[in-house]
A = this chain, B = another copy of it.
Amino acid sequence: MISEAMEDADRVLVDLGNRSYDILIGDRLVDRAGKEIAERFPGARAAIVSDETVASLYLEQLRNSLASAGVDSAAIIMPPGEKTKSFEHLMTVVDEILAARLERRDIVIALGGGVIGDLTGFAAGVVRRGMHFVQIPTTLLAQVDSSVGGKTGINSARGKNLIGVFHQPALVLADTSVLDTLSAREFRAGYAETAKYGLIDQPEFFAWLEGNWKDVFAGGEARRRAIATSCRAKAAVVAADERESGARALLNLGHTFGHALEAAVGYDSSRLVHGEGVAIGMVLAHQFSVRLNLASVDDARRVEAHLADVGLPTRLSDIPGDLPPPDRLLEHIAQDKKVERGRLTFILTKGVGQSFVAKDVPASEVELFLKEKYGQ
């Protein structure tokens, strides 16, 4: 991947041959969206998919930007929240894209967080067997993670993201100024994914975050740097392993536990949002690695301390309400898609920035570990 400074945006190229695309990271990119899109898709029309919350803040701004660049647009507005990642809402979005009479060379734009991006990308991937897709992620989590890499999908009663397609965007516009309207809780949730890149294989980035996280939260240059670093890391992994057959699995650090916890609370975002599940999951992955004699207690404590510092939950007991028993949690883990022929696959670690894929983790070890954690 390549990264270079533009007038007022960083540019990261996701290198996928003839399906390569740009991620632009900078202030006020929503206002520049029309220009960037019209340059890349001359003559195209657009359908914008957003949710009620984001639409009330940025839809008019985006449509004005598109209109002034000559791009005609239709808007499709969904309810906010994880429950929108359902078959029912997929049907609605697909039907409204068809109702807008978009043709194969027109574009579908996701304006929103991870839920809108995942749902919209899936819809764009299946209408006419694949339409051009532009991501305008409006949460930190979507900017540093879900908007890049082409994973799209919806949830099933049997698990999160079990249904979807790989459908790469043709452009990602990460407008760092829209993050000013995020709640502190949502910003922190996205920060968990940012910290993840440090924990996977960039110890120096994790150390930088430990020293500068308050500036990242405050906005400006440190925020842009954290987002661009995250996007570069993700772009490199995606370019190396688009379909998650190998190295891309590292991006799931904290996610096996995290997804199971999200399922365990019934995807109730008042109790746990995705990034919070990942934060607890990353701490658990480090503690589990300690238990398996892979990592040091000090490293696990350091990870927990930093995530707790920024205000993220780090323990099972930080989740409000009762959790189902450990064996039920293990069932959620077993149904998670990162299972191959009954063996449990986990991302484990030898310490900060030294994560690796472990394919033969015995379920019994996981269960013992979880029972221990429930006791604390």
Contacts and interface: CB of A to CB of B under 8 A. Distances in A.
Interface stretch (A120-128, A140-148, A266-274): A120-128
B162 A128 contact: yes
A335 B101 contact: yes
Nearest to A157: B95
Given A103-B340, A341-B43, A165 B98 contact: no
A165 B127 contact: no
Contacts of A101: 335
Contacts of A151: 129
Contacts of A108: none
Contacts of A43: 341
A99 interface: yes
Contacts of A94: 156, 163
A327 to B, nearest CB: 17
B337 A158 contact: no
A87 interface: yes
Contacts of A339: 103
A165 B103 contact: no
A129 B335 contact: no
A269 to B, nearest CB: 23
A340 B163 contact: no
Contact of A162 (B127, B157, B162, B337): B127
A99 B163 CA distance: 13
Contacts of A275: none
Given A87-B87, A98-B158, A158-B98, A165 B341 contact: no
A166 B127 CA distance: 11
A91 interface: yes
Given A87-B87, A162-B128, A164-B126, A98 B156 contact: yes
A128 B337 contact: yes
Nearest to A87: B91
A105 interface: yes
Contacts of A342: 103
Interface in A99-148: 99, 101, 103-105, 122, 125-130
A338 to B, nearest CB: 9
A153 interface: yes
A103 B159 CA distance: 13
A357 to B, nearest CB: 15
A341 B72 CA distance: 13
A104 B164 contact: no
23 contacts: A43-B341, A87-B87, A94-B156, A95-B156, A98-B156, A98-B158, A98-B159, A101-B335, A103-B339, A103-B341, A104-B337, A126-B126, A126-B153, A126-B163, A126-B165, A127-B163, A128-B162, A128-B163, A128-B337, A129-B151, A129-B164, A129-B165, A130-B165
